[in-house]
Amino acid sequence: GPIIENGFYYDFDLGEDSFAPEDLKKIQKEMKKIIGGGQKFEQFSLPIKEAKEKLKDNLYKIEMIEDLEKEGEKEISFYKNINAKGEDVFVDMCRGPHLESTKEVGAFKLDKVAGAYWRGDEKNKMLQRIYGLAFEKKEELDDYLKLIEEAEKRDHKKLGKELELFSFHDVGAGFPFFKPKGVVVWNQLMKYWREAHDKAGYSEVKTPVILSRELWEKSGHWDNYRENMYTTKIDDHDYAIKPMNCPGGMLLYKEGQYSYRDLPLRWAEIGLDHRHELSGTLNGLFRARAFWQDDAHIFMRTDQIKEEIFGVLKLADEIYSAFGLSYHLELSTRPEKSIGTDEAWEKATKGLQDALDEYGQGYELNEGDGAFYGPKIDIHVKDALGRTWQCATIQLDMNLPERFDLNYVNEKGEDVRPVMIHRVIFGSVERFFGILVEHFAGAFPLWLSPEQVRVLPVSEKFDEYAKEVNDKLVAAGLRSKLDNESESLNKRIRNAEKSKLPYILVIGEKEQADKTVAVRKRKEGDLGAQQLDKFIKQLEKENKERIN
């Protein structure tokens, strides 16, 4: 069992048995005894043959040793626990490093039990996995547990159901369904995206969802990405549902004849992509099998690389700022499985590196995590809980223009290759939607909220004026709803608050007489009576400026 981003885990083969939650308490109690005993950790190595002999009864570790042997390892690292009497009480295969002794282990908690296929392969045996957390101090553990508790309250799958935004069904595992309220939020996201891209000089295109095998072979996806693609046959020919939008964009470019004066071309596409994800990795909107990607392909001259990368970074900054999201940058370099020449990769990597250096925001290097066709800049956004999510990516590609024989005419009248950028800002729109649900805890800002205002008459005597108020709000382009059901006012207010609405307007005798509205604002409570026209102007401003 290794360390992971949030804690650690260990896998067990219990045959037909399984761990129960109460078992974790027993194991934790025993761990505390061991920690109190101050057992020392000591590292030693054994040649492959001796290591296999030592672990001959553990088929899983024998398999791991054999893999290490294929990679050229000659020795296997072990650690042993030594008690106060100097006796070896536990030995395990591990690279380390370890602490000096168990007494240095700070606060810890065994968190949960889950099933896990051996090596993540569903064809292998299901093992029992115990997850744990460890910190130097109890205060740090307590703080983290509070964060986890808050994250659970914000879980987009839970809030999506409660707020009637989206749903999932067994008949379409990994394929989300969006409800009317969810579609309102979606449309607001798309409206803003289109406005920002129009302003930044992009034109929008659309390409087909299903394209032939020949195209995917040409792009390199058939050889490098086929295990993630859904394929079908049409008229006895192999076709694939697109996992990415890029090859369609190549075909559109190839149709035209461009000169150096026409570049850059910035083409954006909200494209529906499908990728085969293992059932165990599916996670609501965060990991789905079908998703819309806010893609764009920029075709340019080499002397335009820096300026275009700056343009994408500035656009990403503007868009994330609109949602109150901060972020950091990472440069990801050539992966093990890739296409293209060393020269093309070096050129592309240097192009991104030089642009980032000049941009001056600072970035981390992420070796070997680029796309198979080019290096990339990844943008990781930080949400309200301080968690980071990889959203935007900017990939510089000199390989696909070569594969598709793309050209433009330079100032000398010669045919030369363009360079291209692949980029997304939201990434998967579904995933970004889920991030926003958790970031705002379902309480969307006014401009995104599926329902912005709810009008509540105190009793049926005030229905007529309440309807007049609601009609004026709707006429002003606000998403308002009249709730004059027979339930008590307090219950209707509670229902509106549960729906996390930005504003509630209460209409009673005084409001009707004065032609005003009693305003209740989310988080701020009762704001008192306001003139309706003034209130509408305030909301129109809040909407237009997209205030969070």
- 109, 221, 295, 397: the catalytic one is 295
N-terminal to C-terminal alpha carbon distance within the chain = 42
Sign of CA dihedral 538, 541, 546, 548: negative
- 246, 391, 423, 452: the catalytic one is 246
Sheet strands (E) in 13-63: 40-47
Grouping H, G, I as helix, E, B as strand and the rest as coil, residue 277 is: coil
Grouping H, G, I as helix, E, B as strand and the rest as coil, residue 124 is: coil
Overall residue count recorded for the chain in this entry: 548
- 181, 221, 275, 431: the catalytic one is 275
Q: What are phi and psi of 339, to 5 degrees?
A: -120, 160
What's the order of all strands across the beta sheet hosting 525-531? 480-482, 453-457, 503-507, 516-521, 525-531
- 154, 266, 297, 439: the catalytic one is 297
Q: What are phi and psi of 282, to 5 degrees?
A: -65, 140
d(CA 67, CA 72): 9
Model confidence pLDDT, tens digit, residues 109-163: 998 998 888 988 888 999 999 999 999 899 999 999 999 899 999 999 999 999 9
Per-residue pLDDT of the chain (548 residues; tens, 9 = 90+): 888 877 999 999 998 889 988 899 999 999 999 999 999 999 999 999 999 999 999 999 999 999 999 999 999 999 999 999 999 999 999 999 999 999 998 899 998 998 888 988 888 999 999 999 999 899 999 999 999 899 999 999 999 999 999 999 999 999 999 999 999 999 999 999 999 999 999 999 999 999 999 999 998 899 888 999 999 999 999 999 999 999 999 999 999 999 999 999 999 999 999 999 988 788 999 999 999 999 999 999 999 998 999 999 999 999 999 999 999 999 988 888 887 888 888 888 888 888 888 888 888 888 888 877 778 899 999 998 888 998 999 988 888 899 999 999 999 999 999 999 999 999 999 999 999 999 999 999 999 999 999 999 999 999 999 999 999 999 999 999 999 999 999 999 999 999 999 999 999 999 999 999 999 999 999 999 999 999 999 999 999 999 88
pLDDT at 426: 96
Cis peptide before 457 (omega within 30 of 0): no
Ranges of H-type helices in 125-179: 138-153, 156-162
274 assigned to active site:
no
Model confidence pLDDT, tens digit, residues 432-460: 999 999 999 999 999 999 999 999 999 99
Block residue for tokens 């049926």 = 460
d(CA 390, CA 399): 24
395 assigned to active site:
no
Q: What is the pTM of this model?
A: 0.84
d(CA 391, CA 375): 16
What does DSSP say about strands 210-212 and 231-234: parallel, antiparallel, or unpaired? unpaired
129 assigned to active site:
no
pLDDT at 122: 81
376 assigned to active site:
yes
246 assigned to active site:
yes
- 154, 181, 242, 422: the catalytic one is 422
Block residue for tokens 């250096």 = 357
Model confidence pLDDT, tens digit, residues 13-71: 998 889 988 899 999 999 999 999 999 999 999 999 999 999 999 999 999 999 999 99
- 188, 293, 304, 452: the catalytic one is 293
**Bridge partners of 519?**
505, 528
What does DSSP say about strands 480-482 and 415-416: parallel, antiparallel, or unpaired? unpaired
d(CA 493, CA 489): 6
- 181, 221, 376, 454: the catalytic one is 376
422 assigned to active site:
yes
